[in-house]
Amino acid sequence: MASILAPDELGPTVCVGEILVEIVATTVGDGFRDAQPLIGPFASGAPAIFISQCGRLGGRAAMVGAVGDDDFGRVNTDRLKRDGVDVSAISIDPEYPTGSAFVRYRKDGSRDFVYNIAKSAAARFGWTRHVSDLINRSGHLHVMGSALSMPSARDVIDKAVDVIKSRGGTLSVDPNIRKELRLDEDTERRFAKLVAAADLLLPSGEELERAAGVEGEDNAVRRLLELGVKEIVLKRGAAGATYFNGQGERIDIPAFAVEEIDPTGAGDCFGGAYLTCRRLGMPAQDALTYAAAAGARNVTVRGPMEGAGTREELDAFISATERRSLMQIHLSELAALRIAGRPRGITSVCSAHPVVLRAALRHGRQHASTVLIEATCNQVNHRGGYTGMTPKDFAALVEKLAKEEGCPGHLVVLGGDHLGPNPWRDRPAEEAMAEAEKMVAAYVEAGFRKIHLDASMGCLGEPQALDDETTAHRAARLAAVAEASARRNGGAMPVYILGTEVPPPGGADHALTAIEPTAASAARQTIDVHRQVFEKAGLQEAFARAIGLVVQPGVEFGNHNVILYDRSKIETLQQVLTDEPQFVFEAHSTDYQGTRSLGALVEDGFPILKVGPELTFVLREALYGLDLIASDLVPGYGERPLHAAMEALMSAHPDNWNRHYHGTEGEKRWLRHYSLSDRIRYYWTSPDAQSAVERLYDALRGRLVPVPLFWQHMPAAQQFAEAPLDPEEVLIWRVTRSLADYHAACGAG
Ligand code: ATP
Ligand code: MG
């Protein structure tokens, strides 16, 4: 199918019409009667969105319209220029302000508007010398039906159609006139004439019938093609689009599955992309793919034209999105989803235990959901950390397990947690920071994409916790290293998490009774200071990718108790997110909270839920259950030999628990095995522990375990009774039960 549109070389695509700024309410609700948080100005106006998309895709593009001599105007002209649009025919009105639209979404997805268009610069332009110069060298005109109700646009369009057509140029029309809308006789005649003269028609839904003047989709298409329209692309929102041409060909193209954040502008990005691809010589099928990608990408971003993509961006979007399911979540979308009133959460699995990782990856494959796996500075670093793994080793382990579990790579995201001088804080700050820089580089080079910068802890001779200023400077140094490593790698740029919760990572040591949430003022200050320091260091781009702030939501667990989330305590803290729409909160130590508390956290602005000790606690619980079953079932296995091996191991090497567990010998003995802090997790990699676990596996593998033994030692696992047992499957099942609680709380179930 050769293009029926004038090629790009003939001259630019021109759009005529309103140029606006859009200012959007950040909350969902009714109208603007009360003072409320807003975000904007965003460059807008349907014709401007359309032409911006043309320019971004590398087509020649120009705009006719007007703005005021004010910043709202400059937001638009700067934006269009940046997108490669010729702005020579945009006039600057000295008297009237730039047009504007305030928009707020209601709960049902409809919108309330406050417009200032008709009495603004947006409606005040005409056939000037600049316009005439432009039209005389243009190759294509795109017209919005709605522009016909603007007298100034009407004159320009009339003349432009004649000039461009007589040069061999072409015309596209987006009817965008609602079906019920009756125009006055003169406008109706102009509209019909324009439709008949169109080479390409881009209606949406019922506008097709409105433009054809007949009922029924097939009838309308036939009628329009008879009138001389050469191509029709019917837009159907999230249901996709359909292409028709005069030769009776039809192509149906599905929409990409995305989370809709802001539907404004989808149709214009779709149309701009389709038209440009066709004018650049692409076949209809390919142009439709780019168009659908442009429309879909634009709805994932707040602001009417912020998601308009370049060719490279759309290519990346297409390859990342084609197989994408709705359970998949991008970290950079979390804030926007929250603002859109559809908060979604993500479980951050903080464990290096292969069985835990396997469970997480299998769960991810089964639910086609993103699997976020994080390693901590002490656990994994360029010197090996306590697991002996470098970031590269850890990434390789996850990759191997993901392959074995059939979990596709695009579902897996790796994160580095508390990355900073922490592991070397017994050394002078400079030395510790030099190590931290090497560690961050190693993480980013190994493909970790979520980087938590935490330089809050003091080094040798410094206070235990540093002030925001010093912390931010150190974080900025580390961000600079991360940015450079990512660029060198040529991979996706990292997203950053800032800040730290007050208690130490890995859970608190004592029985806790209450824990105070972070003060809103402290959270604001952390963000402000980091923003300033990053800007001074020329790291604005990195800061723009800071998506999360670690704060204390008031949840914690001690050795033998859990402090459940109390949402009434974080009302002022939540306000911070209203003022800082790029951020969400990250909650650490959410272990043992259960679905209800976790769900409340997600709703309240804490979509990133870190969990570690709970997963290894339940893993240990299952191992000890199997140890008991084997003791009762298998002759010669002995009395709880796994328990005995762990007791011997931990007693001989108390370093990982003795600063955490206090009390009598009897108390310490049970804490070693059952404390919620789960310090025992540090011991599973030791050879003694591994051989004890192997012995347990060997004792039970392939055995038929009678139901009563499960009832006695692990009642919930009775489904494994009476079939040849695979012990590791029992462990994975147990960890998955915890992961499922998280999954349900994340709103993806
Ligand atoms: P607008 O809503 O901006 O007036 P429109 O009604 O003219 O636009 P739509 O049909 O809403 O146009 O969107 C155009 C195209 O963008 C669709 O055909 C589809 O490919 C894509 N699109 C729109 N909304 C979504 C969505 N929620 N998910 C995926 N793709 C979408
Ligand atoms: Mg629409």
pLDDT along the chain (749 residues), means of 10: 83 96 92 93 94 96 97 97 96 97 87 92 94 97 89 92 96 86 85 95 94 92 95 90 88 82 90 97 89 93 84 89 57 85 92 97 83 96 94 98 87 95 96 98 97 96 94 98 92 90 52 83 96 97 96 94 95 94 96 96 96 98 98 98 98 96 96 97 96 98 97 95 94 96 79
Separation of 116 CA from ligand 2 center, angstroms?
A: 22
**For residue 41, is the peptide bond before it cis, meaning its omega torsion is within 30 degrees of 0?**
yes
**For residue 326, which ligand has an atom nearest its CA?**
1
Determine if ligand 1 sits within 6 Å of the CB of residue 308.
Answer: no
DSSP 191: H
Determine if ligand 1 sits within 6 Å of the CB of residue 125.
Answer: no
Determine if ligand 1 sits within 6 Å of the CB of residue 265.
Answer: yes
Closest approach atom of ligand 1 to CA 271: 14
56 vs 77: CA distance, rounded Å: 14
233 vs 221: CA distance, rounded Å: 10
Separation of 22 CA from ligand 1 center, angstroms?
A: 19
570 vs 553: CA distance, rounded Å: 7
What's the pTM value of the predicted model, to 2 decimals?
A: 0.61
Determine if ligand 1 sits within 6 Å of the CB of residue 256.
Answer: yes
Closest approach atom of ligand 1 to CA 304: 3
**For residue 44, which ligand has an atom nearest its CA?**
1
Q: Which of 110, 235, 269, 290 to mutate to test the pocket of ligand 1 (most atoms within 8 A of CB)?
A: 235
pLDDT of residue 503: 53
pLDDT of residue 480: 98
Separation of 294 CA from ligand 1 center, angstroms?
A: 9
Determine if ligand 1 sits within 6 Å of the CB of residue 405.
Answer: no
| Residue (of 134, 192, 193, 199) closest to 165 by Cα position | 199
Burial of 463 (0-12, 13-18, 19+ CB in 10 A): exposed
Q: What are phi and psi of 42, to 5 degrees?
A: -105, 140
pLDDT of residue 506: 44
576 vs 362: CA distance, rounded Å: 36
Separation of 240 CA from ligand 2 center, angstroms?
A: 11
| Residue (of 256, 327, 334) closest to 295 by Cα position | 256
**For residue 260, which ligand has an atom nearest its CA?**
1
Determine if ligand 1 sits within 6 Å of the CB of residue 261.
Answer: no
Closest approach atom of ligand 1 to CA 174: 7
CB-based contact 395:446 (threshold 8 Å): yes
Separation of 301 CA from ligand 2 center, angstroms?
A: 15
pLDDT of residue 336: 84
Q: What are phi and psi of 21, to 5 degrees?
A: -105, 150
Residues in the chain: 749
**For residue 262, which ligand has an atom nearest its CA?**
1
Determine if ligand 1 sits within 6 Å of the CB of residue 263.
Answer: yes
pLDDT of residue 407: 84
Separation of 266 CA from ligand 2 center, angstroms?
A: 7
326 vs 257: CA distance, rounded Å: 7
pLDDT of residue 261: 82
66 vs 45: CA distance, rounded Å: 11
Separation of 49 CA from ligand 1 center, angstroms?
A: 13
pLDDT of residue 589: 94
Instruction: Give the tokens for residue 249.
Output: 């060909």
Separation of 268 CA from ligand 2 center, angstroms?
A: 9
**Ligand 1 atom 8: residue of nearest CA:** 267
**For residue 308, which ligand has an atom nearest its CA?**
1
- Mention every residue, 6+ apart, whose C-beta is less than 8 A from residue 180: none
CB-based contact 204:235 (threshold 8 Å): yes
Separation of 13 CA from ligand 1 center, angstroms?
A: 22
**Ligand 1 atom 30: residue of nearest CA:** 296
Determine if ligand 1 sits within 6 Å of the CB of residue 402.
Answer: no
Separation of 173 CA from ligand 2 center, angstroms?
A: 16
CB-based contact 231:284 (threshold 8 Å): yes
Determine if ligand 1 sits within 6 Å of the CB of residue 111.
Answer: no
pLDDT of residue 247: 84
Classify 307 as helix, strand or coil.
coil
- Mention every residue, 6+ apart, whose C-beta is less than 8 A from residue 641: 627, 631, 692, 695, 696
Closest approach atom of ligand 1 to CA 253: 20
**Ligand 1 atom 26: residue of nearest CA:** 238
Q: How many CB atoms lie within 10 A of CB 240?
A: 17
Helix axes 266-279, 46-56, angle to 10 degrees: 40
CB-based contact 619:356 (threshold 8 Å): yes
Exposure string of 41-60, with b = 16+ CB inside 10 Å and e = fewer, is bbbbbbbbbbbbbbbbbebb
pLDDT of residue 502: 60
Separation of 584 CA from ligand 2 center, angstroms?
A: 29
Determine if ligand 1 sits within 6 Å of the CB of residue 290.
Answer: no
